[in-house]
Amino acid sequence: MFYRSIRGCCVLSMSLIVGFVGCQGQRDATPNQGEYEHGESQGHEVSSEEHAENFRELVQDIEAMTTEICQAFVDGSPEDVHDTLHGVGHSLEKLPELAAKEGKLSPEQMTAVNEAVEALFDGFGKLDNTLHGGEDVDIQAIEAQLVKNLKKIKEVSK
């Protein structure tokens, strides 16, 4: 029971964090820029959710953002991917909806997608928390969790 309430709290916290666009550190963003980019920011130009049109594309975009995010944490420059971290949260919010729209997934596959998305929110939430004054985390352990859950989603998307 405790785990379920903590897990639900983490998902809710991540949703709140992701939804808070006016995040600290975004002082140099201007109204004309994309929602998740700074003027002299990361390598991605647009949030993947703006151009992913289907479940498979969004999975690929999330995978690319995951790689970028984890590499920045390994390199010791997590603030460089702060916007990407928030963008991946928005993409994860859309993933189950796009999966359901395809109408090809069984109820068991949809359950697998939802569980993996929840686990991804948890992992990315821990990373985001470090950027908002939280404790440091073991990036290798979190990356392994993220990769494992992305693999589950990719298996369903085939």
State the angle between helix axes of 82-102 and 2-19 in degrees (0 to 180), rounded to the nearest 10. 110
pLDDT, tens digit, for every residue of 52-108?
A: 778 999 999 999 999 999 999 999 999 999 999 999 999 999 999 999 998 889 999
Closest by alpha carbon to 89, among 53, 50, 51, 120? Answer: 120
CA–CA separation, 18 and 22 (whole Å): 10
Confidence of residue 47 (pLDDT cuts 50, 70, 90): very low
pLDDT at 52: 72
From 23, 7, 42, select the one nearest 120 (Cα to Cα).
7
SS3 87: helix
Which residue shows structure tokens 């992305």?
Answer: 150
The per-residue pLDDT for 71 is 97
- pTM (predicted TM-score): 0.69
Q: What is the pLDDT of residue 102?
A: 84
